[in-house]
C-alpha cells in the first residue's frame, strides 16, 4: 500500500509564526498547507512565501471556497498553490469553475454532503476529499470512531483520494492502518511541540511503520 503523505497545516495567526514553523518542519513533510486562519490573516502573501521557501513541496491554499470558484482558484494558483480546498456546500457550478482553473481541488467534508452528492463531484473530475473531525467538534469532546473509519473506507472505495484531519496524533494514526489514506493532515499535533522538526519526523516514522515507504 502506498505511503500516505504527511501534510503540515499552518494555522498560525501571523505569517512570521508560520514561517518559523515551516522553516523547521517544512522540509520533513510532503505537503504544506496555508490554513484558512493564516490565509485570512496574512492573505496570499502566505502562499507566495511558502512557495518560494519550499519550492519542492506541494502547497495547499485552504480557502474552503464557497463561491467565485474561478477567481479564488486563479488567485491561489497565481500565488503558487498546487491544491485548493472548496467547501462541501458550494454549488456544482462553483466547484466546476474552480476545477477548470486548478487541477488539484479538494472538497472539505463538513455537514453538507452524502455519498450521492460526492458521486457528482467525481463526475466533475474532482477526486480529492478531506474528511475531518471539526476542531470545534473535537473541543466538544468528539473523537475518531468506527463510523469515521467506515466512511473513509467507503470514500476510498468510491475512488476518492481521501485526506484525513482533525485531532490526529501518533496514537490515532494507527487506527487507519490497512486503509489507503492519501494524506494525513496534522496541525497543532506538530506545531504545538517545542521541537516541531522532531514532531513532524515522528509522524512520518509512524506512517512508515504502518504503511511502508512505497510512494
Question: Which chain residues interact with its own copies by CB under 8 A?
Answer: 11, 13, 36-37, 39-46, 63-64, 66-72, 75, 87-91, 93-94, 96-97, 108, 110-112, 134-137, 139-140
Shortest distance, position 79 Cβ to its own copies, whole Å? 9
CB of 23 to its own copies, least distance (A): 20
Q: Which is nearer to its own copies, 138 or 180 (CB)?
A: 138
Whole-number Cα distances in Å, 19 to 123, 128, 204 = 38, 27, 20
Q: How far is the CB of 204 from its own copies (least distance, A)?
A: 25
Distance in Å from the first CA to the final CA of the chain: 9
> What are the angstrom distances between the C-alpha of 131 and each of 7, 78, 144, 160, 190?
14, 27, 11, 11, 19
The three cell numbers of residue 131 are: 474528511
- Exposed e or buried b for every residue in 102-121, given b needs 16+ CB within 10 A? bebbbbbbeeebeeeebeeb
Residue 28 or 98 with smaller CB distance to its own copies: 98
Query: Judged by CB, which is closer to its own copies: 38, or 202?
Result: 38
Residue closer to its own copies by CB (options 37, 180) is: 37
Amino acid at each position: 500500500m502506498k505511503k500516505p503523505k504527511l501534510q503540515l497545516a499552518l494555522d498560525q495567526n501571523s505569517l512570521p509564526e508560520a514561517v518559523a514553523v515551516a522553516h523547521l518542519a517544512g522540509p520533513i513533510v510532503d505537503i504544506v498547507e496555508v490554513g484558512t486562519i493564516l490565509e485570512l490573516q496574512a492573505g496570499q502573501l502566505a502562499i507566495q512565501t511558502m512557495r518560494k521557501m519550499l519550492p519542492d513541496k506541494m502547497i495547499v491554499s485552504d480557502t474552503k471556497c464557497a463561491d467565485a470558484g474561478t477567481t479564488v482558484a486563479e488567485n491561489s494558483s497565481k500565488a503558487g498553490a498546487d491544491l485548493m480546498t472548496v467547501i462541501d456546500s458550494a454549488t456544482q457550478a462553483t466547484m466546476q469553475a474552480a476545477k477548470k482553473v486548478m487541477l488539484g481541488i479538494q472538497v472539505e467534508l463538513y455537514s453538507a454532503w452524502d455519498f450521492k452528492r460526492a458521486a457528482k463531484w467525481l463526475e466533475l473530475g474532482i477526486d480529492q476529499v478531506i474528511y475531518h473531525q471539526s476542531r470545534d467538534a473535537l473541543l466538544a469532546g468528539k473523537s475518531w470512531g468506527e463510523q469515521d473509519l467506515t466512511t473513509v473506507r467507503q470514500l476510498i472505495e468510491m475512488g476518492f483520494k481521501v485526506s484525513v484531519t482533525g485531532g490526529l496524533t501518533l496514537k490515532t494514526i494507527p487506527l487507519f492502518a490497512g486503509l489507503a489514506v492519501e494524506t494525513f493532515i496534522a496541525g497543532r499535533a506538530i506545531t504545538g511541540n517545542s521541537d516541531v522538526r522532531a514532531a513532524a519526523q515522528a509522524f512520518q516514522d509512524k506512517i512508515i511503520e504502518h504503511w511502508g515507504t512505497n510512494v
